[in-house]
Structure 1
Amino acid sequence: MSLSTAKLAILSSMDDVSHKRWDALVDDEQPFLRHAFLGALEHSGSVSAATGWQPRHLALWQGEHLVAALPLYLKSHSYGEYVFDWGWAEAFERAGGDYYPKALSAVPFTPVPGQRLLVAPGVDPGEACARLMEGWQALCDEQGISSWHLLFARPAEVAAWQARRPDLIAREGVQFQWHDEGYGDFEGFL
Structure 2
Amino acid sequence: METKLRASFHSTVLELSPDQWNSLLQEEDIPFLEWEWFAALEGSHSIWPETGWQPCHITLWEGARLVGVAPFYIKHHSRGEFVFDYFWAEAAQMLRRSYYPKLVGVIPATPVVGYRFLTAPGYDPIEMQRTFLDVAEGVCRTQGIQGMHLLFVDPVWGETLPRNGFVPWKHHHYLWENQEFEDFSQYLASFTKYQRKNIRKERQSVVEAGIQTRIVSGSDADPSVFQHMFRLYTRTNDKFAPYDARYVNEEFFLQLQKTFSHRILFVEASFPGESPLALAFLVQKGSRLWGRYWGTYKDLKDLHFDVCYYTPIQYAIERGLKTFDPGAGSPHKVRRGFLAHPHFSYHRLLDPLMDHVFQANINKVNQMEEETIQEINQLSPLKSTPLPSILGRPEFHPEG
- TM-score above 0.5: yes
1:18 corresponds in structure 2 to 17
CA displacement at 1:16 relative to structure 2: 1.4
**Residue in 2 that maps onto 1:180:** 178
- Unaligned ranges ≥5, structure 2: 189-400
The verdict on how the C-alpha distance between 1:182 and 1:91 changes in structure 2, with shifts beyond 3 A counting, is: same
What is the CA–CA distance in structure 1 between the aligned matches of 2:124 and 2:139, rounded to whole Å? Answer: 23
Retained in 2: the 8 A contact 1:104–1:151? yes
User: Is the 1:2–1:123 contact (alpha carbons within 8 Å) kept by the matching residues of 2?
Assistant: no
**Match for residue 151 of structure 1?**
151
Amino acid at match of 1:73: Y
**Which range moves more in the overlay, 69-78 or 173-182?**
173-182
In structure 2, C-alpha distance between the alignment counterparts of 1:94 and 1:44, rounded to whole Å: 37
Which structure features the higher share of strand residues? 2
Runs of 4+ in 1 over 2 A off after TM superposition: 179-190
Q: Deviations over 1:67-99 (max 9, x none)?
A: 111110111111111110000011112212221
Matched residue SS, 2:167: coil
Asked if 1:106 is matched to 2:106, the reply is yes
Alpha-carbon shift at residue 27 of structure 1 (Å): 2.5
* SS at 2:68 equivalent: strand
C-alpha root-mean-square deviation of aligned residues, in Å?
1.9
Instruction: Show the counterpart of 2:187.
Output: 189
Aligned ranges 1:1-190 → 2 under 5 Å: 2-3=2-3, 5-28=4-27, 29-163=29-163, 165=164, 167-183=165-181, 189-190=187-188
| Aligned 8 A contact 2:41 2:47 in 1 | yes
How many Å apart are 1:12 and its aligned residue?
0.7
Deviations 1:89-110 (A, max 9, x none): 1111221222111111111111
Tell me which amino acid in the other structure corresponds to 1:136: A
Cα displacement (A) at 1:188: 5.5
- Structure 1 residues 18 and 87 mapped into 2: Cα distance closer, same or farther (>3 Å)? same
Number of equivalent positions:
187
Residue 188 to residue 79, structure 1, CA distance change in 2 (3 Å)? farther
Using CA pairs under 8 Å that are at least 6 residues apart, name the structure with larger relative contact order, 1 or 2.
Answer: 1
Q: Give the Cα–Cα distance (whole angstroms) in 1 for the partners of residues 169 and 71 of structure 2.
A: 20
- How much has 1:155 moved relative to structure 2? 2.7
**Counterpart amino acid of residue 172 in structure 2:** V
Aligned-residue sequence identity (percent) comes to: 36
CA distance in 1, matches of 2:113, 2:47: 20
Structure richer in helix, relative to its length: 2
Query: 8 Å contact 1:92–1:99 — kept in the other structure?
Result: yes
Displacement after TM superposition at 1:123 (Å): 0.5
Contact 1:102 1:146 in 2 (8 A): yes
Q: Is the 8 A contact 2:106 2:115 kept in 1?
A: no
- How far the C-alpha of 1:185 sits from its partner, in A, is 7.8
Q: What is the TM-score with the length of structure 2 in the denominator?
A: 0.44
- CA deviation after TM superposition for structure 1 residue 48, in Å: 0.6
What is the TM-score when the length of structure 1 is the normalising length? 0.91
Extract unaligned runs of 5+ from structure 1: none
- Largest Rg, 1 or 2: 2
